[in-house]
Structure 1
Amino acid sequence: MKKGLIFVLFALVSIVSYSQVSWNAKVGMNMSNFTGDAETDMKIGFNVGVGMEYQFTEMWSIQPSLMFTTKGAKAKIEESGYELKITDNPMYLEIPVLAAARFAVADNQNIVVKAGPYFAFGIAGKEKYEAGGESEKIDIFGDGDDQAGMKRFDAGIGVGVAYEINKFFIDLTGEFGLTKLYDGDGSGKNMNFSIGVGYKF
């Protein structure tokens, strides 16, 4: 029992003594869509934000970030010569909290594999309708007469891989939403893939 406690204490001391904190800034391009019954197409967007990395060991760390990100999807409805285009463009403040494992591949070059949850809150965005040369936009969040009814809260799982070269990195991330965007059966969820670049300082 005493030996076990001593081992745990030594492990905690070694983690605390190694722990390092670094910060980063990043920007990227999103390729987003909705899952669910509706037939939708991918939409291009962007993300930008800042992050922190807390390293427990040389290999293991946790990476929380605060991101501004656009998601959404496009759809086209054609019937009897009538064509309606719908574009959903929700904008979120998002907090991914990813556990990461770092593998050295060369001097000052690493591959980082990461996974964990994300939480997001919708802050703005429009749903755009286009037909016959006319267009109209309504707020995407909310349930009013001039609102599309999308839920503001979103959460899901993120997975990714990054390649680090000194203080620069290239990042590929996939996000899979677990919350329904609208009430009702068959409602879609967010799905997003992004490629980005960043700098650690």
Structure 2
Amino acid sequence: MKKGLIFVLFALVSIVSYSQISWNAKVGMNMSNFTGDSETDMRIGFNVGIGMEYQFTGMWSIQPSLMFTQKGAKMDELKANPMYLEIPVMAAARFEIADNQNIVVKAGPYFGFGIAGKYKAGGEKIDFFKDTKDEDGDILMEGAKKFDAGLGVGVAYEINKFFIDLTGEFGLAKIYDGDGAPKNMNFSIGVGYKF
């Protein structure tokens, strides 16, 4: 028992003594779509945000971020462009391939909250997250749910303080209720700088 306790304490002290915190800023392009029964096409958007990395060892770290991201899809003339504040929390493994060059593989959950967005068809715009009502107050079209969550996976290539990042996000929360209800799916490519 004492040996096990001493080993655990030694492991914790070595992890805490190594741990390092760094910050980064990133910007990128999204290629998003809705899953489900509806027939939609990919839509191009953007993302921008800041992130933190807490390194436990030279290889293992956790990478939470705060991102402003534009998702959505196209359906013939109709374009949906919801915008979310997102918090992805990725567990990452770093592999050194040369001096000051690393490949980082990461995976983890993300949580999002819809803050704005519209459906656009021709010159008409309808709020994405709010119910559309007629003159009598009856709901014509239900607004989308604001909460989004899912799983993310990605890979990054680091050169000194710069990095290129490829990430995929697969939504688990329904945008609307009902059978075959759509979920968000997003792939992004971005660049960033660690400081």
Q: Say whether the fold is shared (TM-score over 0.5).
A: yes
Secondary structure at the aligned position of 2:92 is classed as: strand
Contact 2:126 2:132 in 1 (8 A): no
**TM-score, normalised to structure 1's length?**
0.92
Moved over 6 A (4+): none
Report what 2:125 is aligned to.
137
* CA distance in structure 1 between the aligned counterparts of 2:5 and 2:73, rounded to whole angstroms: 53
| 1:8 CA drift (Å) | 0.3
The number of residue pairs the alignment matches comes to: 189
Report what 2:18 is aligned to.
18
Gaps of 5+ in 1: 77-84
Deviations 1:139-172 (A, max 9, x none): 1002241765111000000000000000000000
Contact 1:138 1:148 in 2 (8 A): no
Name which of 84, 88, 103 aligns with 1:111. Answer: 103
% same residue: 83
Report what 1:126 is aligned to.
118
Secondary structure at the aligned position of 1:183 is classed as: coil
Report what 1:50 is aligned to.
50
The letter for the 1-side match of 2:118 is K
The letter for the 1-side match of 2:81 is N
Q: Does 1:90 align with 2:82?
A: yes
Deviations 1:45-87 (A, max 9, x none): 00000000000000000000000000000012xxxxxxxx110
Secondary structure at the aligned position of 2:36 is classed as: coil
Gaps of 5+ in 2: 135-140
**TM-score, normalised to structure 2's length?**
0.95
| 1:185 CA drift (Å) | 1.1
What is the RMSD of the two structures over their aligned residues, measured on CA atoms? 1.0
The residue correspondences of 1:70-89 to structure 2 (distance < 5 A) are: 70-76=70-76, 85-89=77-81
The letter for the 1-side match of 2:125 is K
Q: Does 1:161 align with 2:159?
A: no
